[in-house]
Chain A
Amino acid sequence: MSLIIENLHATVDGTPILKGLNLEIPAGEVHAIMGPNGSGKSTLSKVVAGHDDYEVTGGRVLLDGVDISELEVDERSRAGIFLAFQYPSEVPGVSNANFLRAARQARLPDGEEIDAVAFYKEMYAKMDELEMDRKFTSRSVNEGFSGGEKKRNEILQMMMLDPRYCLLDETDSGLDIDALKVVAKGVNSMRSEARGFLVITHYQRLLDYIKPDHVHVMADGQIVKSGGAELALELEKSGYDFLKQTA
């Protein structure tokens, strides 16, 4: 069981961004991607999630052997893809609780209604775990949330939706040190043999808390280097200069 990204090519407005990217994330593993600004990390996560700003011009994405390249965004989510956004959207007028409820409802068979009491109980327990105030249930989704609050809210959604493969796009940016620990704890609590993670980050610090099995470097739309957890430390020390030398 794994998420396989196979020779993925994608363009935006005709400009190639992903240029033949290969990556396999087996269930049970955490993979980290690092790489310079603009190298295409967020693009990769959005393409896997099915964003239609990007045209996939080659390759495919397999979820446990099933090609999801033709699925709609919501279908991919229900199939088990979760993207924690680098910049989560604000949705005015839709309360966080109703949003989560709609997302959970969408996973039930037609005609089946969500058990509201059980839902709230579960949501509150997970909010407690993430040290989120209860007031966030009635506030509009992300509206007026601080940067760190938005990121915590992403993790809450991830915990509530029980995905198979989680893509975390710079979830650490904007988090203070304590929040980082809380969020990492939330992520670690979800690590299991049945779930894979792709963690996009610029900072090795996150990887102190969420220990990766593999670290990849992305540059110009491709994975250019892969290694173990020690690769992140190396990058932290010497940066991406090696990319220029090889270019």
Chain B
Amino acid sequence: MTPPSALEAIRAEALAKYESLDWPARNEENWRFGSWKEANLSGLEPVGAGVGIDLPEAIEGAQRFVFHNAELVSGSADSVQLLAHAPELLPQTESRLGSPKLSALHRAQSQHGIVIKTDSGADIEIIHLVSGEGLLTPTVVIIADDGAKVRVLERFISTNDFDATTVLCGADLIAGEGTKVTYLVTQELNANSKLIRLADSRLEALAHAKQAVIHTGAKWVREETYSTVDGMDAKSEILSVAVPTTGQEYDQRTFQHHGARDTYSDLLFKNTLFGKAKTIFSGLIFVDDGAHGTDAYQTCRNLMMTNECEANSMPGLEINADDVKCSHGSTSARVSDEEIFYLQARGIDSKSARNLVAQGFSIEAIEKLEDEQLEALAIEVVARKFAAIE
């Protein structure tokens, strides 16, 4: 009898945990306003082999990895490790934001992913081409050390318009001392798919990380972003741009955890809601006992393009230290008729005018990436969504 591989052992343990836990249920604080029933993935089988489509234009200078569902079809594993070869690095996302069962399921099913571990630098583009009815559980682990400069782009793209694929993905970022990390995720799934994304990050002293997500696709998204700033002068920026319309619900929960003194975090979420879209934002800034001199900011802004959309915001703050600068706020505003009139008075039709305003609204967050290529891509993804609406 051959001994089970390390990965299998991890999966077996996670499976046992998964089986012992309950699905999210009504009345759980972390699921307030949320569609907890959507999170019940029981009976869902892993998807089979995937297929390819024409790939989007590559990011210049980046090393590209392409997955067809769980299979890596392009990209050399010289500079990265495949998860299968480094199972001990499988993220142990603690899922403190309401989804321990989903997290256990992710671990139990984990079969593919990429581990980017570097002490010099890396520029990586990962494309997940997703298809098939069922569950897909990819993983990205980024471990940056010794002042490394890392840029990662991760895209989720459906290969057809109809398959209801559930993507349950894990992301784990460890930004070591003095590192600089920019990590952009774009979710461009089809309107029948779901995405559940459990993202953890830990920043050590003097690390500076920008994590951004763009959501334009999927019928339901649940995203839990837990970010720990754990070393002096670490700086964490968390950005999100979402453009849902009728039939789409985006549920995002965040936790900015300040575990050391003189740390900085800034979160900016921008939702543009069309049709009968629904969004939920719940964010907590948590400053540990002793994390003096923390600067923490949290802003969620909703631009409501119709009267039928629904934006729920639950900002929160818990401070256990002194000399702290914190602010949190959320705003919801309707698109301004005067702005639209102004643009129309220059000959721009009302749909284009609304899209210009909406795009302008999203750009405030996108610009914070401070990376020309990634910004251009983010704008392109968002613009494509605007063009497709109505």
Q: Write the residues of chain A forming the contact surface with B, with a CB cutoff of 8 angstroms.
A: 49-53, 72-74, 77-78, 82-83, 85, 88-94, 98-99, 102-103, 106-107, 140, 157, 161
Contacts and interface: CB of A to CB of B under 8 A. Distances in A.
Contacts of B160: none
The 7 A-B pairs of least Cβ separation, nearest first, read A93-B360, A77-B347, A89-B342, A73-B344, A103-B346, A94-B360, A93-B363
Given A99-B346, A102-B348, A106-B352, A92 B341 contact: no
Nearest to A98: B356
B341 A51 contact: yes
Interface string B354-365: 001101111110
Interface residues of B, number: 24
B360 to A, nearest CB: 3
Contacts of B347: 74, 77-78, 103, 106-107, 161
Contacts of A103: 346-348
The B contact surface, by secondary structure, is helix
B338 interface: yes
12 contacts: A49-B345, A73-B345, A83-B345, A85-B345, A91-B356, A92-B361, A93-B360, A93-B361, A94-B357, A103-B346, A103-B348, A106-B349
A197 B343 CA distance: 21
Contacts of A106: 346-349, 352
B361 A99 contact: no
B362 A93 contact: yes
Interface string B252-281: 000000000000000000000000000000
Interface in B325-371: 336-339, 341-350, 352-353, 356-357, 359-364
Contacts of A83: 345
A157 B359 contact: no
A92 B356 contact: no
B113 to A, nearest CB: 35
A51 B344 CA distance: 10
Contacts of A53: 337
